[in-house]
Structures are given as structure tokens and as C-alpha cells.
Amino acid sequence: MKRKKGIQRVVLYVSLTLLTFIFLFPLIWMLVSSLKDEFQIFRDMKSLKAFLPPAPSEVEGGYFANYIAAFQRVDLMKYILNSLIYTTGIIVFGLIVNSMAGYALARFRFPLAGFWLGVIIATLIIPPESIFLPLYVLVYDLGWVNTYTGLIVPFIANAFAIFLFRQFFLDFPKELEEAAKIDGCSQIGIFFRIIVPLSKPVFATVAIVLFINHWNDFLWPLVVASDESMRTIQIGLQYFMNEPPIKWGQVMAALTIATVPMLLIFAFLQRYYVQGLTHTGSKN
Amino acid sequence: MKKLSLLLAGVLVVLMLAACSSDSNANSEGESGSSGENTTSDTVETGSVETSVEATGDEEVMLDFWIHQTGEDETNAYIELIDAFNKEHEDIHVNAEVIIDDGASAYSDSINAALVAGNLPDVMAVDGPYVSSFAEAGVIQPIDEYIDEETKSQYVDSIIQQGTYNDQLYSLGAMEASVMLYYNKDLLDEAGIEPADSIEEAWTWDELMENSKKMTTEDRYGLNLFMNYGVGEWLTFMGAPLAWSNGGALISEDGTTVDGYLNSPETIEALNYVKELFAEGVVTDSPGEMQFEEGNAALALGGPWIAVSAEDAGLNWGMMPYPYKDEKVSPSGSMAYAVTNNTENPEAAVELMKWMTNEEATIKISKATGMPPAQKSAFETMEKFNELPWSVMKEQVIQTAHARPSTPAYPVLTDAFAQSFHAAALGEDVESVVEQQVQRVERELKRFEE
Amino acid sequence: MKGNSSSAKPLTDHDHYKAPSEPSIKKVPPKRKKRRRSQAFQEAVTGYFFLAPALILLGVFLLYPMGAAFYYSFTDFYILKPDDISFIGFENFSYIWQDAQFRQAFWNTVYFSVIVVPVQLAVALGLALLINKKLKFRVFFRTAFFSPVVMSLVVVSILWTFMYNPNEGLINQLLGLIGISPQPFLTSPDQAMNSIIVMSVWQGAGFQMMIFLAGLQNIPNHLYEAADIDGASNWQKFLHVTLPGLKNIALFIFITISIAAFKLLVQPMIMTQGGPLGSTKSLVYHIYETGFNYRDVGYASAMAVVFTLIVLTITIIQRVLIREERG
């Protein structure tokens, strides 16, 4: 019996190690290759050295030669900045607008409230992919093509975020608000002064969900930010990948750079993200 | 529509200000919100690529100019030319934006987007065969009234041909392009094969097939067709002459139908020839980036830029004319400049076009890119075109260049041909694929019927 | 997550919170006598004040484009001729049935979804079960499986394009080490979609694994203990305790990934441009190309409408099945 258990454990760890390799080898290869020169990448690929960082003696231009070259060839900084402006814009305005809507739907009684909630939830079913053409025409009519406004404004209101906020505010104790009302503060004051500061978890969750979704956005920035100076990092990468001369090391460096912000978010705030999604998932 | 954005902004501002006056939270939210908006509009106004040549703002006429580039030397050549233009013309100032072409679709994506958005520049670079598409749609305007016959006659014929739609001239280019049959001298010598040094000696299809087979070995291909460029304009540019050479066509002469042309027996035979090349294993559908330059293919049907990269790679190379079946034809057409209907100063715009395509400019750009110049006189001035191997390219540009079809449905037509070519390469049944593509193009053509 | 909460009760009803026992299913809020009219009016104004920005934005940037797509789908809207739009009835829709590319894109998308959804679900569940026990390096394994999620789809697609490269690609080089000849992963019409599927599962499974893990932790321990007392085998425990406990989460994941799968776009766009021979052209990609590259907004909109209907149908079918399941 004990022996069987022992074998089982060995099998378990061997398969886990194998799986780990399957899930990690592309990442390791990307990281390691970004540090090597072109010649070495191809030479090492013929053996398991493909997954080992270059020895100091093998790097001629320094470990970060590819990174420096990639930054010199295309304006990666500008692309990342564009992505940050784009995502931050959506997050800042999105948090305000959606939390207010969620609050309204959770707290106030007014005509058609149920109807609007139904409408908002129904819009969740509309695939954004099916409206991007008319949305593009609209944004063009507004003169917003190749502007941050055009990138941001259409995605401020977010039915999913409204829904999350509403769920959260439904469970929020009413007593605090009552007290503030007696103090003579307006509803708006109550909301921004009392509710918002006490709702940090839900704001964090929504902010992260928005960040991850829009940092990874592809289709909308592709059509709206056609100008080189407006490209987000995802679009910039796509162009960089095809821009001759294609240098594998530089592409790997650019991919690594583009991953860093997401890595930071996940490293520090992962639990909010998973919480947010499982929360809605398990509730139904 | 402006009202709407004002309304939106208004709503947001009201929301920001409406909270409790003494409320620190609300205020900080509000500040971050509005400052966010400020930065937005600021950056939009000044947003521009680094490579731009910025205006100083004093001049009377301002021209926005979009250039297409494939390499750094090319960009520098353009910028020097534009700086010189700005210095020479006190009353005109050009703001140039250089758009990098990734070989796939970056440049045409930018134009498409700008088209929809209506923010086209005054002058832009357009790929030759798209001239008619844009002309038909009224995106670019005819320039005949600003240009005299003598100036016109200085350009090589194919440049005027590609720039003409409905008997009106729309575009002028600085460079031509062509496809040469490059060869690896060492490998040819090894196999005892004689290269063709002039149009008269050009190889036939059979010779190409036979010689490619001869030079194909275990670890080397006989021929490279640069299938790694993807299924796009390249396949039409490089491949259509096969159909023409065989008496086939892509579209009827009046441009109204492809039925009986794209699917004519001659065109299909040409595609079947392509299919055979692949079936015989002399060429691969997935060559490495530098297959020819690294000596892994003996021959290559490539653009002028291959001469540059082969030279850089230290290859012992040469070039031959495009192979033929019945008629000797060769690919032609390249980026050219056109004046959009957006401009308020067509005359100044044409002035800029002429400047960018005069003899001096074409020589400069030819030197930077390796592309043949578009001015006849430039071929004489540039000595390299009077001796091998470049003399072959010159002969080809002047004697056998054949422009791609001129039709507003070109974007669909070229994709239809490229898809058919690719299907042939992958060993599909050519006839049924072409038949499907014919249907597609016919539908598009209907759009332009009166 | 939408269906249940959209039931028509007035969720804004204050009484709901004061007296949860009171049934509040009627549309018209009951017992408003005590509230003064002006107070109700003021509350309505405040409510709308809070709700209006979101409503306006959703209306302008979601509902209006939806309507516009519907309208365009009956016209010959061509980007180069925006001032010359005419109504052409159902012509665009009837062309959909003749469009060989649409058919191909449709079946490609179905193929992708039908394979990716169950495989990804199974892989995610398998991974979650493997590491949902006391293990050395548990956090390390979990992080490893999750790490592809951290990369964007664009990054992953580019990375794998290089890995799948027919000549110099990493995977072919590795296969070469064990004596397998180079595979045309993305350049053969037979393999390209499968190669994209493998990559997609690799990228996405870690995320669903996390959700499954959260679900597994929510299954009360005493259920397992009870099963132990009954002398249940591991397999029986899995079948009768674990699976039922995960059902809701699995259904949620099932719905989200099948809809996401049907929206396939980035992978083929970056890795294969829809080729070879259209074998990886997805529905959304075909719509994008028709609208932007070929400027045929009318026809693209018609396809977008059909696409929306398909997604809607999938959603509804899944909802109905789930509801029946729950009886």
C-alpha cells in the first residue's frame, strides 16, 4: 500500500514537471532569446541550450542589446504610453460612470429602474465585434478617429462593471448613508464621500478587469488608432513583427516589454481579478 | 455631432462639480478626471511621428504629405528632398509623414482608415494599381491641367500608364519596380547552366522548369518565389506576368468583367505551371527569410531589393530577365504620388509631386532603395544601369514592363488572383478555386456599373 | 449571470431592504402612501442623475451602432461612396448563402469552438484537480500553469508564430531532436487551425484552472469525509462529490469560453492572415476584412447581424439547457 502511494506520488510529480515544462517553455524561450544575438538564437535552438541564458562571454553587445535596438527601431515607449493613456482613461471614467449607475440601480427608486437594469444586462449579450463597423463610422462622424477620445469614450460605460457595482452596493449597509443624510449632505456628496471610500475592493476589482481587458484590446485600437503616433502596444507589436528586417531577438525583447505591465498587475493584484470573475460566476 | 460630445463633456463636468463642496474625495476624483481630459486633447493636437518634418507656420500654403517607406535610407532621402523643397519654395510648406510599410498591409491600412475618416493629406503615395480605384471614387484628382506634355514624356511609359485612368493622368512616381530572375553564380556554374544576359536571351518557362529541377538538391531549392511575403500584392505583382505572357488576362480590357479572363484557359494554364513548379519540389511555399541570400535556393524571382540584400550578404549573384512563354512581359508599377480631393492647393501639390519625381529625386531615391528610376534620363545618368547586371533591369523596365490592371475593383481582384496563385502553390485544383474567385470579383464589379 | 437578475422585480425598491420577507415581485412598488410626492420626485431625479451618464454612453456607443449595423445591412454602403447609400432589401443577406468564403469562415469558427471549448474545459479541470492537494511547490506549479494568461493574445500569437516557423521554428527544432521531420504547422491548410487551437488552449486554460480551484475550495470538506466513511473510491468521490460541486462553475466557464471562441479573430489575423487557403479565416475576421479591406460595409453589416444572431442563439440554447438541467 505504502509503496503504491509512493509510486503514485512519483508519477504525480513527474507529470506535474512535464506539464510545467509545456506551460513554461515558450516563455522561457522568449525571455532567454531576447538576451541573445541572432546567430546564437538559431544555433542554440538545435539543442536544449535554447532554454538557457547566454553565458556572459557569449554576449557581445551586452545582455540588453536587443532591447536597446528594439527601442531604437520603433517607438515602443510611445506605444506603451498610448496603451496606458487608453486604459487609464477607460478606468478613471469607467469607475465613476459605472459605479454611479450601479449605485442608482441598487439604491434609488425611480420610474423604469427595472427596465433600465434589464436593458443594461441585455447589452451584455451584444458581441462588441458585431458593432465595430458602425461604431467606427460614428466615431469618424464625431471627428474622433486617431484621438484618445475616440479610443476611450465608447468604452467608458460597461454593463458588466455596472452589474458588479450594483451587486456590491446591494449588500452595502444603509445606516451610514442615513447618518450622512441627517448631517445634511446631498446624495452626490454621500456617494463620493462615504460610499466610494468604503468600496475599495469592488473598485479595485473593476479597475483590474478593465485594465486587463483593454490593455489586451486589439480590434478597436487597430481600426481607430491607425496613425502611427496613436498605436497601442498590441498594435505596435503586430507591425513590429512584420517589419523587415525581422530580428528574432528584438521581437522577443519587444514581446517581453509588452508583458511587463500585465505581469506587475497580476503579481500584486491577481486575487482581485479572479475574485471579480468567480464572484459573478458562482453567484449564478 | 459636435453637440453630442459637448453634451457628454457637460454631463461629466456637472457630475464632477455637483458633489458636496467640502468633499475631498469628490474633488480629487473630479480633478483627475478633468486633467485627464486636458492631456487628451493636448496630445492629439501635437501628436505626430518623430520622422515628420514640422512646419514653422509662416508660409501661405501648407501641404500635408504622406510617404511610404520600406527602409531607413529611403526615409532619409525623402526628408532631404522635402527639406530642399521647403527651402526652395518660400510660399509653400510641406509637412511630411513617413508611414512605414511592413510588407503586409500597414500602409494601405492607414490610407483606408484615413479614407473613412476623411482626413487624407494633400498629397499621398499610392500603389500604382490602386490609382484607378481611388480615381473612380473621387478620392484623388486628375492633374493634366498642371502638367505639360514635355514633362510627361520624361517619365518611363509604364509610370504614365499606371497613373492614367479614363484617359486622365492622376499620379506620378519616382521609382519603377520590376521582378528579376536572380541567380546564384556559383550554383549556376556548378550545374553548367548559362545565364541570360539580355531580354533576347530570356529563359522560357520550360527552361526555368528544367534548370530549377537541375539545381534542386536534398538541402537546396532550385527556385525561390518569396512565398514568405504572404498572400498579398506580391503574388499578383510577381505572378500576373505568367498569365499575360501566356496570352491570358486578369480582367477584360474595358474592365467590366473577369469572367472569361481570370478563368480563361491561358490564365489557368499559367497557374497550373505554378502548381507544377511546386509539385516538382523545385520551390517551397515556406522559404526562410534569406533563402536565396544564404545560398539555399539557386534562382529567385524577386524585386529590386533582393539585389541589395544579396550584395549585403556577400553572395555572388546576377540577374536575368523575367521568363516567358509566348510574349515577353515583366511586372511593373510601384508607389506613386497623387493629389487628393482634400487639397485646397492642387497647383502647389502638383509642384511637390514634380519635385519628388524629377531626375535628381529619382536618382537619389533609386540609390537609396535599389529600385529603378522613373525618369528616362536618370537611366543614362546612372552609370550602373548601362552595364551588367543592372542593364537587364533597365531593358526590362523600358521594353517589357506591363502595368497591373486598372480597375476600381482592384483590391478584390488582386486578392482573387493572389488566392488563386497560392492555391495553385499548395496543389489545389486551380480551375475550381479560380471559378470561385471569379464570382467574388464579378460581385464587386457590379458596384461600379453605371 | 444575466438571466436571473434581470427578473422584473424593482430592485431599487427600498422596502426590499427594510423587510426582505415582504414579496416585492410586482412591477409597481407597493405602499408608497407615506412618502411625499416631492420626495419621490426628488429621488427619481437623483436616480436618473446617477444613471444618466452610463445610459447615454451605452445608448450612443452600443445601442445606436447596433441599430446602425441593422440598417446598413439592408444597404449597399460602400466606404468610398459614403454619400451614395441606397436601400437594397435582403440582397446582402441572400448573398451570404452564396458566399463560399462566409461558409468556410462559419465552419472554421464552428470547428475551432467545438474543439477548443471541451478541450480547454477538460485541461483546466484536470490541472485544477492535479494541484488541489497538499503538494510541495504547489504555488510554483499553479503560477506556471497560470503564466501564459499574463501574456496578451497578441504577444502569445506572435511568439507562437515564431515557434511554429516551418524552418527555424523552436518546435520543429525540438521535434528534430527526437527525430520527427519538420511540420508545416501554420502553412498547411490541414494543420493551421489545429495549431491555433493548441496555442489557444495553452494560453487560456490556466485562467479557468484558477476559477476551478476557487470552486474546489468551496466544496465542503465534510462531504468528502462522509464519502470516506461510506468507503467510496477516489473515482467515486470525484464523480459524486467533486463534479456536482463544480457544476455551476463549469457551466459558467462553458458559456464564457464558447462565446469567446466564437469571436475568434486575433490568432488567425496575426498568425496566418486567415490562410492557408482560408483554412483559418474566422467569421469575425471575414467581417473585418469585408468592411475594412474591401470597404463593403453593407455586406459586412449583414454578416455582423447574422453573427450576432448566432451568438444569441448559442447563449439562449445554453441557458435553456442549463435551466432544464437544474430542473
The minimum CA-CA distance between B238 and chain A, rounded to whole Å, is 19
- CB contacts under 8 A, C 86-125 vs A, are none
Q: Are strands B330-331 and B401-402 parallel, antiparallel or unpaired?
A: parallel
For residue A34, give Cα distances in angstroms to A56, A59, A73, A243, B120: 14, 11, 15, 17, 38
With both helix axes pointing from N to C terminus, report the angle between B106-117 and A132-141 in degrees, rounded to the nearest 10: 60
Cis peptide bond N-terminal to A245, omega within 30:
yes
CB B399 within 8 A of CB B158: no
CB B110 within 8 A of CB B98: no
Rounded to a whole number of angstroms, the CA Rg of chain A reads 24
| CB-based contact A93 B12, cutoff 8 Å | yes
The CA distance from C301 to A150, in Å, is 21
pLDDT (0 to 100) of residue A263: 87
CB C161 within 8 A of CB C119: no
Q: If you average pLDDT over residues B201-220, what whole number do you get?
A: 95
**Dmax of chain C from CA atoms?**
84
Sequence-ordered list of residues with C-beta below 8 angstroms from that of B99, at least 6 positions apart, any chain: A228, B66, B67, B68, B69, B106, B107, B110
Using CA coordinates, name the residue in chain C closest to B108: C293
Pair (C172, C270) in one structural domain: yes
Final residue in a domain of this structure, among C91, C123, C152 = C91
Q: Which of A4-8, B239-243, C198-202 has the lowest mean pLDDT?
A: A4-8
Q: Which three cell numbers stand for residue B266?
A: 491561358
pLDDT (0 to 100) of residue B101: 62
The CA distance from B297 to B179, in Å, is 16
| CB-based contact B23 A189, cutoff 8 Å | yes
> Of C168, C188, C276, which has the smallest distance from its Cβ to B288's Cβ?
C168
Q: Which three cell numbers stand for residue A250?
A: 528584438
| CB-based contact B12 C79, cutoff 8 Å | no
Nearest in space to B311 (alpha carbons), one of B319, B322, B321 = B319
- What are the start-end ranges of the H helices in chain A? 2-33, 38-44, 65-73, 76-107, 113-123, 132-141, 148-152, 159-170, 175-182, 187-190, 196-198, 200-215, 219-224, 233-242, 248-283
| Residue C277 forms contact with A (CB below 8 Å) | no
The CA distance from C122 to C318, in Å, is 18
- pLDDT of residue A233 exceeding 90, the answer is yes
- Total number of domains in chain C: 2
pLDDT (0 to 100) of residue C21: 42
- CB contacts under 8 A, A 13-52 vs C, are 13, 15-16, 19-20, 22-24, 26-27, 29-30, 42, 45-47, 50
Final residue in a domain of this structure, among C72, C91, C110 = C91
- pLDDT of residue B161 exceeding 90, the answer is no
The CA distance from C263 to A131, in Å, is 13
Pair (C10, C153) in one structural domain: no
Q: For A73-283, which CATH superfamily applies?
A: MetI-like (1.10.3720.10)
| Residue C12 forms contact with A (CB below 8 Å) | yes
Measured over the CA atoms of residue C74, residue C75, residue C77 and residue C82, the dihedral's sign is: negative
pLDDT (0 to 100) of residue B102: 52
Q: Which residues of chain A are within 8 Å of residue B48 when distances are taken between CB atoms?
A: 229
pLDDT (0 to 100) of residue B41: 29
For residue B259, give Cα distances in angstroms to A80, B237, B345, B430, B442: 49, 21, 42, 15, 8
| CB-based contact C270 A216, cutoff 8 Å | no
| CB-based contact B25 A196, cutoff 8 Å | yes
| Residue B106 forms contact with A (CB below 8 Å) | yes
| CB-based contact A96 B33, cutoff 8 Å | yes
The CA distance from C248 to A280, in Å, is 11
- Go through the domains of chain B in sequence order and give each one's CATH number: 61-177+333-402 (3.40.190.10), 180-330+409-446 (3.40.190.10)
B23: confidence class by pLDDT, cuts 50, 70, 90: very low
- Which of C85, C86, C171, C293 is the best substitution to test chain B (most B C-beta atoms within 10 A)? C293
> Of A110, A188, A251, which has the smallest distance from its Cβ to C48's Cβ?
A110
Q: What is the pLDDT along chain C (327 residues), one digit of tens a residue?
A: 333 433 333 333 343 344 444 444 444 454 555 556 788 888 888 899 999 999 999 999 999 999 999 999 999 988 777 777 889 999 999 999 889 899 999 999 999 999 999 999 999 999 999 998 888 888 899 989 999 998 999 999 999 999 999 878 899 998 988 888 889 999 899 999 999 999 999 999 998 998 899 889 888 888 888 888 888 888 888 888 888 888 888 888 888 899 899 999 999 999 998 878 899 999 999 999 998 888 889 999 999 999 999 999 988 888 887 777 665
> Of A92, A226, A239, which has the smallest distance from its Cβ to B33's Cβ?
A92
CB B429 within 8 A of CB B435: no
Q: If you average pLDDT over residues B91-108, what whole number do you get?
A: 72
pLDDT (0 to 100) of residue B253: 87
| CB-based contact B1 A143, cutoff 8 Å | yes
| DSSP states of B95-115 | EEEEEE--SSSHHHHHHHHHH
pLDDT (0 to 100) of residue A272: 72
Q: If you average pLDDT over residues B330-344, what whole number do you get?
A: 90
Predicted confidence (pLDDT) per residue in B364-385, tens digit: 999 888 889 999 899 888 888 8
| Residue A239 forms contact with B (CB below 8 Å) | yes
What totals of helices (H) and strands (E) does chain B contain, helices first? 18, 13
Q: If you average pLDDT over residues B109-125, what whole number do you get?
A: 77
Task: Read off the amino acid at residue C297.
Answer: V
DSSP state letter for B340: B
| Residue C257 forms contact with A (CB below 8 Å) | no
Q: Which three cell numbers stand for residue B97?
A: 509623414
The CA distance from C17 to C20, in Å, is 6
The minimum CA-CA distance between A251 and chain C, rounded to whole Å, is 9
Element (H, E) at B298: strand B297-302
Q: Which residues of chain B are within 8 Å of residue A150 when distances are taken between CB atoms?
A: none
Q: Hey, is B93 helix, strand or coil?
A: strand
pLDDT (0 to 100) of residue B4: 44
pLDDT (0 to 100) of residue C326: 63
pLDDT (0 to 100) of residue B107: 72
Nearest in space to A265 (alpha carbons), one of A203, A207, A197 = A207
Pair (C252, C104) in one structural domain: yes
Q: Hey, is B217 helix, strand or coil?
A: strand
B37: confidence class by pLDDT, cuts 50, 70, 90: very low
| CB-based contact A146 B50, cutoff 8 Å | no
Q: Which three cell numbers stand for residue C103?
A: 461558409
Q: Which of B56-60, B82-86, C295-299 has the lowest mean pLDDT?
A: B56-60
pLDDT (0 to 100) of residue B116: 65
Q: Which of A142-146, B430-434, C33-37, C203-207 has the lowest mean pLDDT?
A: C33-37
Residue A146 backbone class (left: φ over 0; alpha: ψ -120 to 50; beta: rest): left
Higher per-residue pLDDT: B109 or B298:
B298
What are the start-end ranges of the E strands in chain C? none
Nearest in space to C104 (alpha carbons), one of C281, C303, C314, C276 = C281
- pLDDT of residue B217 exceeding 50, the answer is yes
For residue B257, give Cα distances in angstroms to B136, B261, B262, B412, C216: 16, 8, 9, 13, 64
Average pLDDT, chain B: 83
Q: Which three cell numbers stand for residue B308?
A: 541589395
The CA distance from B165 to B149, in Å, is 17
B266: confidence class by pLDDT, cuts 50, 70, 90: very high
> Of A248, A277, A281, which has the smallest distance from its Cβ to C162's Cβ?
A248
Q: Hey, is B67 helix, strand or coil?
A: strand
Pair (C81, C117) in one structural domain: no
The minimum CA-CA distance between A114 and chain B, rounded to whole Å, is 23
Nearest in space to C287 (alpha carbons), one of C314, C306, C315, C312 = C306
| CB-based contact C60 B4, cutoff 8 Å | yes
Instruction: Supply the range of the domain harboring residue C57.
Output: 4-91
Share of chain B above pLDDT 70, in %: 83
- Which of B133, B447, B448 is the best substitution to test chain C (most C C-beta atoms within 10 A)? B447
Pair (C84, C115) in one structural domain: no
Higher per-residue pLDDT: A129 or A57:
A129
Q: Which three cell numbers stand for residue C317?
A: 440554447
pLDDT (0 to 100) of residue B205: 96
| CB-based contact C158 A238, cutoff 8 Å | yes
| CB-based contact C152 A27, cutoff 8 Å | no
- pLDDT of residue A109 exceeding 60, the answer is yes
Pair (C60, C205) in one structural domain: no
Pair (C16, C73) in one structural domain: yes
Q: Are strands B335-339 and B171-172 parallel, antiparallel or unpaired?
A: antiparallel
Higher per-residue pLDDT: B388 or B2:
B388
| CB-based contact A135 C51, cutoff 8 Å | no
Domain coordinates in residue numbering, chain A: 2-63, 73-283
Pair (C21, C119) in one structural domain: no
Pair (C151, C226) in one structural domain: yes
The minimum CA-CA distance between B372 and chain A, rounded to whole Å, is 21
| Residue C27 forms contact with A (CB below 8 Å) | yes
- Which of B1, B11, B22, B23 is the best substitution to test chain A (most A C-beta atoms within 10 A)? B23
Q: Which three cell numbers stand for residue C190?
A: 490541414
Cell numbers 511546386 correspond to: B278
CB B183 within 8 A of CB B319: yes
Q: Quick count: other Cβ atoms within 10 Å of Cβ A234?
A: 24
Predicted confidence (pLDDT) per residue in A78-100, tens digit: 999 999 999 999 999 999 999 99
> Of A45, A106, A138, which has the smallest distance from its Cβ to C173's Cβ?
A45
B5: confidence class by pLDDT, cuts 50, 70, 90: very low
For residue B39, give Cα distances in angstroms to A75, A84, B43: 20, 13, 6
| CB-based contact C170 A29, cutoff 8 Å | yes
Final residue in a domain of this structure, among C63, C91, C119 = C91
Nearest in space to A229 (alpha carbons), one of B45, B35, B95 = B45
The CA distance from C144 to C210, in Å, is 12
Q: Enumerate neighbours of B (3 or more CB pairs within 8 A).
A: A, C
- Which of A21, A28, A130, A158 is the best substitution to test chain C (most C C-beta atoms within 10 A)? A130
Element (H, E) at C177: helix C170-177
Share of chain C above pLDDT 70, in %: 88
Give this complex's ipTM: 0.91
- Which of A227, A230, A240, A248 is the best substitution to test chain B (most B C-beta atoms within 10 A)? A227
Q: If you average pLDDT over residues B386-412, what whole number do you get?
A: 89
Q: If you average pLDDT over residues B22-41, what whole number do you get?
A: 34
Pair (C66, C140) in one structural domain: no
pLDDT (0 to 100) of residue B186: 95
Pair (C124, C234) in one structural domain: yes
| Residue B48 forms contact with A (CB below 8 Å) | yes
Q: Which three cell numbers stand for residue B291?
A: 533563402
Q: If you average pLDDT over residues B121-136, what whole number do you get?
A: 88
Pair (C60, C134) in one structural domain: no
Residues in chain A: 284
Higher per-residue pLDDT: C303 or A242:
C303
CATH of the domain at C227: 1.10.3720.10
